[in-house]
Amino acid sequence: MKKKAIFILSCIIFTILSAVTSSLLGAMSIRWEDLLQSDSMESRVFFELRIPRILLGLMVGGSLAWSGALAQGLFRNPIVDPGLIGITAGCSLFASIAIVLGTSIPFLHSIWSIVLFSFLGGISSSFIIFFFAKSKGRTDIFSLLLSGIAVNAICFSAIGILSYIANEAQLRNLSLWNMGSLGGASWANLKSFSIFFILPLLISPFIAKQLNVFILGEREASHLGVSTEFLKTIIILLIGVSVGACVSLVGNIGFVGLAVPHIVRLAIGQDYKYLLITSYLLGGGLLCFADGICRIIIAPSEIPVGIATALLGSPFFLSLIRKRMNHI
C-alpha cells in the first residue's frame, strides 16, 4: 500500500511540474513578473495560448491513457490500445476525407468541420466493430478485436488512396495531422470538448469494480453478478467518445494509450480502482511534458508531439520490461 501511495503521489507531482514547466517553455521567454501586467504581450501569450494548450495536453494525454487502460481491461491483454481496435483509424479517415475533399464538400470548409467530422469517424467506427462482433445478443471479445483490426486495415487503405490523390498542400496537412500536435488549442475548443475529457474522471469509480471482476474471465464475472454485455458496450462507447474527441482535436498521438497504463500496472498492480485514475494523471503529465520539450528543441518551430511521446516513453518502457523480466 505504501509503494502504491508513493507512486500515485509521484505521478501527481510529475503532472504538476510538467504543467508549470511547460507553461514557461516556448519561442517567447516569459517570466512570472510579466504575468502581473495584464496588457503585456507575454501575459496575452501565456493566458490565451499556453494555458489552453497545457489544459488540452493534460486532458488529451489523460483520456488516451485512460482509454488504453479500459481497452486492456476489456480484452484482458496488456498490448491492446484504442489504435488496435480501429477507433483511432476511423477518426483519421474522416479527418483525411475532410482535408482532401473539403474544398469540394460545402460543409467541410472550416477547421471546426474537420474536427467534428473526425469525431464522428471515431463514433462510427465504434458502432461498426460492435455490429460485426455482436451475434444473437452476445458480443464476442475475440470477434471484437478482429473487427477492429479489419476496420484498421480498411481505414488505412482509404487514407492511402486519399494521400495518393491529394495535392502537395493537402498531403502536408495530412502528414501533420497524423503526427499529432497541440498547436490548435484554444479556449473555444476546450469549452466545446471538455465534457468528453472530464467524463472519464466521473465514470471511473463506477466501472472500476466491475472491471476488477471482469479480468477474472467473462464467465466468472457473470457468475459474480456482473452484466458483461452492458460492461463491454459501455466500455467501447466510452473509448469511442474519448479517443474520438482526442484525435479530432490533436491528430494521432501514439504510445500514450498503450504504454502508460502498462507502466502504471507494473508499478501498482491492476486494481482498476487506482489504475484508471493514475493512468489519467500520468498520461496527462507525460503529454504535457513532451509538448513543452517539442516547443524548445528547434524554436521558433515545433516538433510534432506524437514523435516526442514515442522517443521519450519508449526507452523508459523498455527499461521497465527488462526490470520485470529480471524478477521472473
Express each pLDDT in 74-119 by its tens digit.
887 777 777 777 888 888 888 888 888 776 666 666 666 777 777 7
Cell numbers placing 157: 487503405
SS3 content of the chain, % helix, strand, coil (to 5): 80, 0, 20
Could you please state the CATH topology (level 3) that the domain comprising 1-326 is classified under: ABC transporter involved in vitamin B12 uptake, BtuC (1.10.3470)
- Give the pLDDT mean for 203-216: 83
Residue 62 and residue 197 in contact, taking contact as beta carbons nearer than 8 Å: yes
Least trusted range by pLDDT, from 51-60, 82-91, 245-254, 319-328? 319-328
Residue 141 and residue 215 in contact, taking contact as beta carbons nearer than 8 Å: no
Q: What is the mean pLDDT of the chain?
A: 81
| Model pLDDT, residue 78 | 75
| Model pLDDT, residue 293 | 85
Q: DSSP letter for 46, please.
A: I
- Give the pLDDT mean for 170-190: 80
Predicted confidence (pLDDT) at residue 27 exceeds the cutoff of 80: no
Map out the domains of the chain as residue ranges. 1-326
CA–CA dist 303, 311 (Å, integer): 12
Residues across the chain: 328
| Model pLDDT, residue 323 | 66
Residue 149 and residue 84 in contact, taking contact as beta carbons nearer than 8 Å: yes
Residue 207 and residue 227 in contact, taking contact as beta carbons nearer than 8 Å: no
| Model pLDDT, residue 327 | 59
CA–CA dist 191, 212 (Å, integer): 33
Report percent pLDDT > 90 for the chain: 6
Residue 176 and residue 251 in contact, taking contact as beta carbons nearer than 8 Å: yes
| Model pLDDT, residue 109 | 62
Predicted confidence (pLDDT) at residue 68 exceeds the cutoff of 80: yes
Residue 268 and residue 274 in contact, taking contact as beta carbons nearer than 8 Å: yes
Predicted confidence (pLDDT) at residue 18 exceeds the cutoff of 60: yes
C-alpha distances in Å from residue 107, one per residue of 120, 171, 209, 219, 261: 14, 21, 43, 47, 38
Predicted confidence (pLDDT) at residue 247 exceeds the cutoff of 70: yes
Instruction: Give alpha helix (H) positions in 78-186.
Output: 87-101, 111-133, 141-165, 168-179
CA–CA dist 255, 83 (Å, integer): 10
Neighbours of 303 (CB within 10 A): 18
Q: How confident is the model at residue 316 (pLDDT cuts 50, 70, 90)?
A: low
| Model pLDDT, residue 74 | 82
Of 24-38, 60-74, 124-138, the range with the highest mean pLDDT is 60-74
Residue type, 161: I
Q: How confident is the model at residue 15 (pLDDT cuts 50, 70, 90)?
A: very high
Express each pLDDT in 226-237 by its tens digit.
788 888 888 888
| Model pLDDT, residue 14 | 92
Angle at Cα 166 formed by Cα 57 and Cα 311, nearest 5°?
Answer: 35
Dihedral angle over CA of 62, 57, 94, 76, nearest 10 = -20
Which residue's entry shows cell 501565456?
Answer: 46
| Model pLDDT, residue 122 | 80
CA–CA dist 279, 8 (Å, integer): 10
- Give the pLDDT mean for 266-290: 89
- Give the pLDDT mean for 156-161: 88
Predicted confidence (pLDDT) at residue 71 exceeds the cutoff of 90: no
Predicted confidence (pLDDT) at residue 161 exceeds the cutoff of 60: yes
Residue 248 and residue 302 in contact, taking contact as beta carbons nearer than 8 Å: no
CA–CA dist 239, 66 (Å, integer): 9
| Model pLDDT, residue 148 | 83
